[in-house]
């Protein structure tokens, strides 16, 4: 048992000793002093806290530091165990006093209490000691008999000095003027031809036949199939000649009498006019009500007699004067030109292109795949054997993606004149470059290809060029993913985006040999993603999203002033009509688009900026909309599925607005791949249900009906 002196030597206070003595007789061996019983007890161990360094510093305000202080306090609080002797013997003589122990180290001046109410009185014995109040998570210190709250936040630093005002920058110099735009393409010429009309039914006294039409093939001649209308200007009856003047009388005989003057010539008779029996004729487009699919023509004849409230003898055939009307309908039959792969599998003709009057395409006869040709007499020939993709006509040659050694896809050229084919270069050694979209400008072919797979294993595509004169190949612009390439005069326009992001309208300019984004249609990081680029005059039409909230709609870009605008917002507000398969017919753009229900055939007219839906094929079906739009004269041919007949060949006449199913080749199904116009004929690949997908042709003829 420790004596009071020994306990004081170890740092115990008299108060602690008194408490200890009072408990000696009642505390069992297993009892442990609880923290709330030792709120004011200091620890005799050596781990003291230097609070003079901690007070007022910012790190004491964190919950982590508070937790460390609490843990330190609990470790530093002494726990005492007491025991009681088992038996008490005869008291022996007092032993000698033991030696004084060494002074203990200072106890901790940090304490824990539950609340402000449990703080002890601030006396000299706890002066400068800190107590943590658990209920308020705060600290108080006993100083000069007064409790004071410890502010753990340091004093605010002084405000920094204001920075000096920056010097204004210099104004930039004006940019140089842009280069002049290229001249626009010439429009089609309207021709007027007059011919002598002999005496006959049309003009009893002869006259002139005046024909008008559009020079569709630009040969400066108005051929028979280009005549849109004609009129007769008939001669009137000839006026009678005026009579000669009477001779003057002889002078009287004299030495020599003077001769009398000749009489004046009589006045010419007035030109004859149209007579009430003059025949007048007109040729015009047949109205759709007459049910003439194709480009129907209506030929009318009559007498210029003013019948039916008309004006007599004015040279114009009016409604009441019409005696005869003749309907000239362009009709056709459908015929399978060749069954290239006999049986039910089909040859799957595709990628139709034209060089001169010969059509080339990809097909397979079952044993051999490759490039086939069809001349103007419909004679079929196998031109090249091998794997062929992305076939394009490049001047007098063909370019395609073919397979070399190792079955890797490379860029190839085929020369029809001698039947030879060759790989133009090795863009991607040991891999497939997948070239495509070959587009000729002058003597240079631009195309898309890749030269590596990159870190993604797919690789980004570059814009490449191939010079046909010296066979050189070079990379024009790297990693821009070019698509929808079209030639505009000597420049190339296309859709692209660096690192496959922010896809916009790009241009390769021939005059400067520069490749750049020509128009940021949708400013920002999303891009407008232009597709299906087509050219009308100086305007490029495309499907794109300008970011204005209209979604992907028909956009227009003027190459002269670099402006863009929404040409047709078919599906207003945030929804998109998603136009595709764009083709140009005269001043109109035909396309596949949706107003919100199904995809149908739509048209935009650039003359009055109007647009409308021209077909209602899917009114109740919801199957595939029109695809493969192809123009033939004034008619757009396309494939579509109306939900009843399967995918078949359809047509829409732009003159009379009629839309019709050309033929139902396969009543229980059907499939139409590509459609192509050449030499005034329309070819297409389709499935009739028995021979598979093979090559078919529309054979046109004219039928004359008196109405």
Confidence at residue 189, expressed as pLDDT on a 0 to 100 scale: 58
Average pLDDT over residues 664-692: 92
**pLDDT digit string (tens) for 177-188?**
656 555 544 555
The C-alpha atoms of residue 240 and residue 235 are separated, in whole angstroms, by 15
Specify the range with the lowest mean pLDDT, choosing from 29-33, 239-243, 345-349. Answer: 29-33
The C-alpha atoms of residue 512 and residue 493 are separated, in whole angstroms, by 14
222 Cβ contact partners less than 8 Å away, ≥ 6 residues apart: 191, 193, 211, 213, 215
Confidence at residue 148, expressed as pLDDT on a 0 to 100 scale: 87
The two tokens of residue 375 are: 């001349």
The C-alpha atoms of residue 351 and residue 360 are separated, in whole angstroms, by 8
**pLDDT digit string (tens) for 16-72?**
888 777 766 544 433 333 444 434 343 433 433 343 333 333 333 444 444 433 344
What SS3 state is found at 70?
helix
Which of 89-98, 375-384, 565-574 reaches the highest mean pLDDT? 375-384
pTM reported for the whole predicted model: 0.60
Specify the range with the lowest mean pLDDT, choosing from 55-59, 170-174, 448-452, 530-534. Answer: 55-59
Residue 628 pLDDT level (bands cut at 50, 70, 90) = very high
**pLDDT digit string (tens) for 119-167?**
898 988 888 888 888 777 788 889 888 988 876 655 555 665 665 554 5
**pLDDT digit string (tens) for 207-222?**
766 666 676 766 667 7
Please give the backbone phi and psi of residue 565, each rounded to the nearest 5 degrees, phi first. Answer: -160, 160
Confidence at residue 140, expressed as pLDDT on a 0 to 100 scale: 84
Write a three-state SS string for 298-326.
EEEEEECCCCCCCCCCCCCCCHHHEEEEE
Confidence at residue 193, expressed as pLDDT on a 0 to 100 scale: 60
Distances (CA, A) of 342 to 364, 372, 664, 674, 695: 11, 16, 21, 20, 12
The C-alpha atoms of residue 436 and residue 410 are separated, in whole angstroms, by 10
The C-alpha atoms of residue 610 and residue 505 are separated, in whole angstroms, by 24
The C-alpha atoms of residue 445 and residue 467 are separated, in whole angstroms, by 6
Distances (CA, A) of 416 to 181, 395, 419, 537: 37, 11, 5, 32
For residue 675, which of 659, 698, 654 has the smallest C-alpha distance?
698
């Amino acid at each position: 048992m420790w004596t009071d002196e020994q306990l004081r030597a170890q740092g115990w206070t008299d108060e602690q000793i008194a408490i200890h003595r009072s408990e000696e007789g009642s505390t069992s061996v297993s009892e442990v002093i609880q923290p709330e019983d030792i709120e004011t007890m200091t620890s005799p161990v050596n781990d003291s806290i230097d609070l003079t360094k901690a007070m007022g510093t910012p790190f004491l305000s964190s919950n982590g530091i508070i937790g460390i202080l609490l843990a330190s306090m609990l470790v530093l609080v002494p726990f005492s165990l007491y025991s009681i002797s088992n038996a008490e013997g005869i008291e022996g003589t007092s032993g000698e006093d033991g030696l004084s122990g060494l002074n203990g180290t200072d106890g901790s001046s940090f304490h824990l209490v539950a609340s402000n109410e449990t703080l002890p009185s601030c006396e000299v014995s706890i002066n400068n000691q800190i107590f943590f109040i658990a209920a308020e998570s705060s600290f108080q210190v006993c100083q000069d008999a007064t409790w004071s709250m410890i502010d753990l936040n340091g004093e605010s630093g002084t405000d920094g000095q204001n920075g000096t005002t920056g010097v204004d920058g210099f104004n930039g110099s004006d940019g140089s003027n842009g280069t002049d735009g290229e001249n626009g393409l010439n429009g089609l010429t309207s021709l007027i031809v007059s011919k002598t009309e002999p005496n006959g039914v049309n003009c009893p006294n002869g006259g002139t036949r005046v024909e008008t039409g559009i020079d569709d093939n630009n040969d400066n001649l108005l051929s028979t199939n280009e005549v849109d209308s004609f009129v007769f200007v008939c001669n009137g009856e000839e006026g009678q000649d005026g009579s000669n003047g009477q001779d003057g009388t002889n002078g009287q005989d004299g030495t020599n009498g003077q001769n009398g003057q000749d009489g004046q010539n009589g006045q010419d008779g007035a030109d004859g006019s149209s007579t009430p029996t003059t025949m007048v004729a007109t040729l015009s487009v047949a109205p759709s009500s007459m049910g003439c699919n194709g480009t129907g023509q209506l030929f009318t004849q009559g007498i210029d007699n003013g019948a039916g409230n008309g004006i007599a003898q004015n040279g114009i055939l009016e409604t009441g004067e019409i005696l005869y009307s003749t309907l000239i309908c362009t009709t056709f039959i459908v015929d399978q030109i060749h069954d290239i792969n006999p049986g039910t599998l089909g040859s799957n003709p595709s990628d139709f292109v034209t060089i001169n009057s010969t059509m080339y395409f990809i097909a397979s006869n079952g044993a051999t795949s490759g490039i086939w040709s069809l001349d103007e007499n419909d004679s079929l020939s196998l031109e090249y054997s091998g794997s062929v993709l992305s076939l394009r006509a490049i001047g007098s040659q063909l370019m395609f993606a073919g397979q070399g050694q190792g079955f890797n896809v490379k860029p190839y050229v085929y020369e029809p004149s001698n039947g030879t084919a060759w790989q133009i270069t090795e863009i991607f050694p040991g891999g497939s470059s997948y070239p495509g979209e070959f587009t000729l400008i002058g003597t240079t072919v631009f195309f898309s290809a890749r030269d590596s797979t990159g870190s993604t294993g797919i690789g980004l595509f570059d814009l490449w060029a191939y010079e046909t004169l010296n066979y050189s190949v070079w990379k024009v612009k790297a990693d821009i993913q070019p698509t929808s390439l079209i030639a505009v005069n000597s420049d190339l326009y296309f859709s692209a985006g660096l690192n496959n992001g922010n896809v916009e309208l790009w241009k390769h300019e021939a005059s400067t040999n520069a490749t750049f984004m020509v128009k940021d249609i949708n400013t920002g990081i999303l891009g407008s993603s232009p597709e299906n680029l087509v050219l009308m005059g100086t305007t490029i039409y495309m499907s794109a999203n300008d970011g204005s909230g209209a979604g992907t709609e028909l956009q227009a870009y003027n190459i002269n002033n670099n402006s863009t605008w929404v040409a047709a917002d078919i599906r207003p507000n945030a929804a998109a009509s998603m136009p595709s398969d764009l083709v140009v017919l005269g001043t109109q753009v035909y396309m596949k688009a949706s107003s919100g229900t199904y995809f149908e055939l739509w048209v935009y007219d650039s003359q009055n900026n109007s647009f409308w839906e021209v077909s209602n094929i899917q009114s109740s079906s919801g199957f595939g909309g029109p695809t493969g739009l192809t123009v033939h004269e004034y008619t757009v041919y396309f494939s579509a599925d109306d939900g009843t007949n399967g995918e078949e060949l359809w047509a829409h006449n732009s003159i009379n607005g009629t839309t019709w199913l050309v033929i139902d080749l396969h009543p229980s199904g059907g499939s139409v791949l590509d459609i192509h116009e050449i030499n005034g004929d329309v070819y297409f690949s389709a499935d009739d249900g028995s021979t598979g997908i093979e090559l078919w042709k529309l054979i046109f003829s004219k039928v004359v009906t008196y109405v």
